[in-house]
Structure 1
Amino acid sequence: MSVSMLSTFVKPMHREGIPFVAGFAAATLVLFWIWEPLGWLGLGLTVWCYYFFRDPKRAVPLNRGLVVSPADGLVSLIGPAVPPPELGLGPEALTRVSVFMSVFNCHVNRAPVAGRVTAVAYRPGKFLNASLDKASEDNERNALAIELDDGRKLAVVQIAGLVARRIVCWTKPGQTLRTGERFGLIRFGSRLDVYLPAGIMPQVALGQTCVAGETVIAVLGQDAPQRMASED
């Protein structure tokens, strides 16, 4: 198998996944010792765990003014919503784009824009199905406010889901992020919300598949209408 073919199927794994994969692998050896069919089941789960924590390279667009998806997954919600109050962005509703990640998506989260992180706020909560609208308010979440060069702010929120039980964020207030830079992950199925600056329309449609760090979900500084799409 060529190097290019190998890289298509074998992706690097994020270090956060090492203890989990090691645990699955150890359990698999025990299961093989107990009963071989159980061992093969354990092997399949070990491969899935490795795949879950994959961290592939992405071709991040360098054009100024682009807002990229912070997560792999499907656009599940688009509409006005008030950003988390703990970020201090005010009571006015902004356009929110929600990307839902299944347990089969890559779960490494990437910064949607370049800018300075002005706030990072964690809030405990429930573990409802992350595809539900009320998950934004009720579920465990970790929210970031990012200030752009022109002073406007954008919010990105990590939301735990029905299976997810751990939000990881490596970013601190005052840190400067590049567009597409890794800032965290959520373990085992969840959602990312992006609250766009006032007046900015999303350039993705409901049901569209997004790739973290690559898919453009909005364009800043342009009076572009909201993108529409149809299934084919």
Structure 2
Amino acid sequence: MKFHKEGYTSLAITILFIFIINAIADYYDASTLVKWVLYIFSAFLFITIVQFFRSPRKNISVDDHIILCPADGKVVVIEETEETEYFNDKRIQVSIFMSPVNVHVNRNPISGIVSYFKYHPGKFLVAWHPKSSTDNERTTVVVKHQNNTEVLFRQIAGALARRIVWYVKEGDTVTQGNEFGFIKFGSRVDIFLPLGTQIDVNINDKVIGGKTTIARF
């Protein structure tokens, strides 16, 4: 287990905040009860930040016949829908909701070439809202597989997620299972697959990024 690089600033701010509130309590000679409440709150806050930005080490075997889950969380949507940003046709949408307790690293579901990338500023509706996929702050990535199939996946900010981070751009060669981004404090990832794709998950399944097979070519 390691601490993700995106959490360094948050951790530093948290430690500074903990130091300040405890120093103030000591300066004004707060009661024992108040000090213990602050100690417990400080420990809870520190543990919360550390667990949120944890980044488990994973041994991922590349398999060009499967589509890996891009994020840890729970499957909340499996449906046929119209994808209007890039494909402009019907696709199978699979959505994974990431709660604040999930690992928030986002991983490439397939290997290939990034044929499209776009960042969209937007709203911060709750991640399970029907319009969050089109109205919220988000990124859209399309990767073209060696078999010429294109897969679109989208990072979506939620009510708590106020920063989306991405590490890819158009023309990049990406490897299945490697990190392509990170979303802070609760969010969702949608993946759009060709009609007829074999889906290997069900609604409410708990999935693991880079480990769970979402679908097969």
Q: Same fold (TM over 0.5)?
A: yes
Amino acid in the other structure paired with 1:16 = E
Percent of residue pairs bearing the same amino acid type? 35
- Distance in 2 separating the partners of 1:84 and 1:25: 44
Q: Find the residue that maps to 1:198 and give its secondary structure.
A: coil
| Displacement after TM superposition at 1:43 (Å) | 2.5
Q: Which moved more, 1:128-137 or 1:32-41?
A: 32-41
Deviations 1:109-157 (A, max 9, x none): 0001111101111111111110122211111110100001121100010
Which residue number in structure 1 is paired with residue 147 of structure 2?
Answer: 150
Where do 5+ consecutive residues of structure 1 fail to align?
Answer: 1-10, 221-232
Q: Offset of 1:99 from its aligned partner?
A: 0.2
CA contact (8 A) 2:62 2:177 kept: no
- Count, aligned residues: 207
Instruction: Name which of structure 1's ranges 182-191 and 31-40 shifts more when overlaid on structure 2.
Output: 31-40
Compared CA separation, residues 30 and 136, structure 1 to 2 (3 A): same
For the aligned residue pairs, the C-alpha RMSD in angstroms reads 1.2
Whether 1:95 and 2:92 are equivalent positions in the alignment is yes
| Structure 1 letter corresponding to 2:6 | E
Aligned to 2:6: 16
Q: How big is the shift at 1:69?
A: 0.6
Instruction: Deviation per CA, 1:143-187: give whole Å up to 9, x if none.
Output: 100001121100010000011111100111111111111010001
CA distance in 1 between partners of 2:193 and 2:45 (Å): 38
The alpha-carbon deviation at position 215 of structure 1 amounts to 0.2
Runs of 4+ in 1 over 6 A off after TM superposition: none
Matches within 5 A, 1:142-221: 142-220=139-217
Partner Cα distance (1:50, 1:179) in 2: 26
One-letter amino acid of the structure 2 residue matched with residue 81 of structure 1: T
Instruction: Give the AA of the match of 1:34.
Output: I
Q: In 2, distance between residues paired with 1:185 and 1:63?
A: 23
Counterpart of 1:60 in structure 2 is: 60
**TM score, norm. by length of structure 1:** 0.86
Report the secondary structure of 1:20's partner residue: helix
- Which residue identity is paired with 2:210? G
Greater shift in the superposed pair: 173-182 or 56-65: 56-65
The offset of 1:92, in angstroms, is 0.9
Asked if residue 34 in structure 1 is aligned to residue 7 in structure 2, the reply is no
Q: Distance in 2 between matches of 1:180 and 1:24?
A: 30
Could you tell me how far apart the structure 1 residues matched to 2:105 and 2:152 are?
A: 17
Q: Compute the displacement of 1:84 (Å).
A: 4.8
Task: State whether structure 2 residue 73 is matched by structure 1 residue 73.
Answer: yes
Structure with a larger share of its residues in strand: 2
Please say which of residues 185-194 and 50-59 is displaced more in the overlay: 50-59
1:92 partner letter: D
Partner-residue secondary structure (3-state), 1:82: strand
Task: Quote the Cα distance in structure 1 between the aligned partners of 2:133 and 2:100.
Answer: 19
User: C-alpha displacement at 1:56, in angstroms?
Assistant: 0.8
8 A Cα contact 2:167 2:181, kept in partner: yes
Distance 2:174 2:83 in 1: 20
Q: Is the 8 A contact 1:31 1:39 kept in 2?
A: no
Q: 2:93 aligns to what SS in structure 1?
A: strand
Q: TM-score, normalised by structure 2?
A: 0.91
Question: What residue number does 1:134 align with?
Answer: 131
Q: Which runs of 5+ in 2 are unaligned?
A: 26-34
- Match in the other structure for 2:51: 51
Amino acid at match of 1:173: E
- Compare CA radii of gyration and give the structure with the larger one: 2
